[in-house]
DNA sequence: GAGCACAAACTGTGATCACAGGCTAGAGCC
DNA sequence: GGCTCTAGCCTGTGATCACAGTTTGTGCTC
């Protein structure tokens, strides 16, 4: 099975997943923790302490506290009333709020991407989708998730709007911990690849409006499955 | 003239503009610097150093470096190749990229707000707009800006989607330094209030689609004026 | 007078310490 | 036996120091 952290490194803003030695430690810690959050390594509601993370990562507390504060700014972590830092518990309403914004942003990104994607890149999207079908058949949820992430992210990157890409990533990081943790514990069902094939068809036709609609439907249809598994 | 920082505090996520003594110092420094960036207190391209800011704010370097790293995460500041921290210079393409996302997000927010705004709140929006007309007539750009910020932000708050509000604020903070600095130096022309009156009319009619269109037109029409003043 | 080199003064970063507040577990008392 | 208070541990936060890298400015040399 594909290592989820490594697989998700393609999703990180920072090349090489933040493993560059010349980069400051705080940035590397940030990239590492972000990837771990996205891969469901932390349980929603879990308290993360600066000192314990520093010990686990083999550094002093300084880089960790800077990284944690950045993640708090990203709403990927939150400070509680006691001022302890924890992984947010996302409510059903909160998840729907995120989904509503995702529909707007990722729809826009898909529409713009339709004008920039080359035939070769669309072929790659097709390969990713076929890989998802295989992962679903073999019941490999981690691989399924990694491929799905790569699929969507590749499209949004093709929109060639760094601001848009940045905000979409922020939303994924916000929902990621809850989503991915549920995915590999409770077990969210892996859906069919039909929505992705609709997206690919629209992209191949250069149909921006169609790509937008297909992506928006893909997101909207996935909401109930996930909301259902949320406790609140 | 209204103090821009105080006027903008209504725009901050943190109540009281972060002046609460019980709140940690790093949060107060963050709120202060964010407000100062939004009011154009820093020149785009200007290098801001941790130690000098700490001395100016009367604290040690610790709260400042945490605040600066949060602002870097918000893309309100950037680290240069030398690893010094500076206020970003936004290119014309960069400004258009932000505007494109603003159109999507603020259009969505306006549409949702149309379903929630009360008559009294719309009356307040009307009063803000009349104030802008007066500020334009009396040539008070700072007051004009503060009222404009309050106007838009009030609408987006009414959308009752905290995730959406958060992202919109992030975009304003990104563009704010460049925009507001240009505004009170080069002097961006103050526009007529016609677009705002169209927004108010749509909101009063509960016309979500109309509110979306009006807000999107308001943003789109303001772009050329600003882009024109950008150096690159 | 122009160019080069060295030194001083910055820069951000990592580490460490002290401290106040909150939580918990255990001992002592009723 | 059950309740309460206290002592100890853990939390994040602020401050301070050392260090490596870069920039800047000055003085010396050619």
Which of B224, B227, B222, B220 lies closest to B101, judged by CA? B220
Q: Which residues of A touch B69 (CB under 8 A)?
A: 26, 66, 69-70
Note the Cα B130 to chain centre separation in Å. 20
Name the CA dihedral angle for A14, A16, A17, A19, rounded to a multiple of 10 degrees: -110
Q: Are residues B57 and B73 in the same domain?
A: yes
Question: Hey, are the CB atoms on A26 and B69 less than 8 Å from each other?
Answer: yes
Q: Are residues B108 and B188 in the same domain?
A: yes
Say which CATH number the domain at A39 has.
Answer: 1.10.10.10
Q: Are residues A108 and A143 in the same domain?
A: yes
Select from A72, A75, A164 the Cβ nearest to the Cβ of B166: A75
Question: H or E segment at A56?
Answer: helix A50-57
Digit-by-digit pLDDT tens for chain A (232 residues) are: 434 433 333 344 433 443 556 788 999 999 999 999 988 889 999 999 999 999 999 999 999 999 999 999 999 999 998 899 999 999 999 999 999 999 999 999 999 999 999 999 999 999 999 999 998 888 888 888 899 999 999 999 999 999 999 999 999 999 988 888 777 776 666 788 889 999 999 999 999 999 999 999 999 998 888 888 777 7
Question: What was the pLDDT predicted at B188?
Answer: 64
Q: Are residues A121 and A20 in the same domain?
A: no
Could you give the number of structural domains in chain A?
A: 2
Say which CATH number the domain at B98 has.
Answer: 1.20.120.530
Token code pair at residue A146:
């990694």
Residue range(s) defining the domain that contains residue B23: 4-86
Question: What was the pLDDT predicted at B187?
Answer: 66
Q: Are residues B46 and B117 in the same domain?
A: no
Inter-helix orientation angle B92-113/A162-183, to 10°: 60
Question: Hey, are the CB atoms on B171 and A163 less than 8 Å from each other?
Answer: yes
Q: Which residues of A touch B74 (CB under 8 A)?
A: 73
Which of A74, A31, A86, A12 lies closest to B74, judged by CA? A74
Query: Where among B65, B86, B107 does a domain terminate?
Result: B86
Is A188 in a helix, a strand, or coil?
Answer: coil
| A31, B99, B100, B231 from B95: Cα distances, Å | 27, 6, 9, 12
d(CA A71, CA A6): 20
Q: Are residues B67 and B129 in the same domain?
A: no
Question: What was the pLDDT predicted at B30?
Answer: 96
Q: Are residues B168 and B225 in the same domain?
A: yes
Q: Are residues A129 and A29 in the same domain?
A: no
**Residue A34, CA atoms < 13 Å, CB-side half-sphere:** 32
Token match 């390594």: residue?
A41
B14 interfacial to chain A (CB closer than 8 Å): no
Query: Where among A30, A62, A86 does a domain terminate?
Result: A86
Question: Hey, are the CB atoms on B101 and A108 less than 8 Å from each other?
Answer: yes
* Contact between residue A12 and residue A31 where contact means Cβ atoms under 8 Å apart: yes
**Length of chain A (residues):** 232
Q: Which residues of B touch A105 (CB under 8 A)?
A: 101, 104-105
Kindly report the nearest CA distance between residue A104 and chain B, in angstroms: 6
Q: Are residues B120 and B208 in the same domain?
A: yes
Q: Strand D: which residues 63-122 of B lie within 7 A (CB)?
A: 63, 66, 81-82
Handedness of CA A29, A32, A38, A39 (dihedral sign): negative
Q: Are residues B26 and B116 in the same domain?
A: no
Q: Are residues A145 and A159 in the same domain?
A: yes
Ranges under pLDDT 70 in chain B: 1-21, 186-189
Query: Where among B43, B63, B86 does a domain terminate?
Result: B86
- The reply to whether A51 Cβ lies less than 7 angstroms from strand D is yes
Question: What was the pLDDT predicted at B21?
Answer: 64
Q: Are residues A99 and A177 in the same domain?
A: yes
A122-138 confidence digits (pLDDT tens)? 999 999 999 999 988 88
Give strand C nucleotides closer than 7 A to any protein Cβ. 10-17, 22-23
């Amino acid at each position: 099975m594909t290592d989820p952290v490594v697989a998700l490194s393609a999703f990180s803003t920072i090349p090489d997943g933040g493993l560059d030695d010349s980069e400051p430690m705080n940035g590397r810690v940030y990239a590492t923790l972000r990837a771990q959050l996205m891969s469901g390594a932390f349980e929603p509601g879990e308290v993360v302490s600066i000192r314990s993370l520093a010990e686990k990562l083999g550094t002093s507390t300084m880089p960790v506290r800077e990284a944690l504060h950045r993640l708090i700014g990203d709403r990927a972590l939150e400070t509680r009333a006691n001022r302890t830092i924890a992984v947010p518990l996302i409510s059903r309403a909160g998840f729907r709020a995120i989904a509503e914004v995702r529909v707007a942003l990722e729809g826009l990104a898909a529409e713009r991407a339709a004008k920039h994607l080359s035939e070769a890149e669309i072929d790659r999207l097709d390969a990713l989708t076929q890989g998802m079908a295989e992962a679903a058949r073999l019941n490999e949820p981690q691989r399924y998730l990694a491929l799905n992430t790569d699929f969507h992210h590749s499209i949004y990157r093709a929109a060639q709007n760094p601001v848009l890409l940045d905000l979409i990533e922020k939303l994924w990081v916000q929902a990621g911990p809850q989503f991915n943790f549920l995915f590999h514990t409770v077990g969210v069902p892996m859906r069919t690849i039909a929505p992705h094939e609709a997206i690919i068809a629209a992209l191949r036709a250069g149909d921006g409006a169609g790509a937008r609609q297909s992506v928006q439907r893909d997101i909207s249809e996935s909401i109930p499955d996930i909301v259902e598994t949320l406790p609140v």
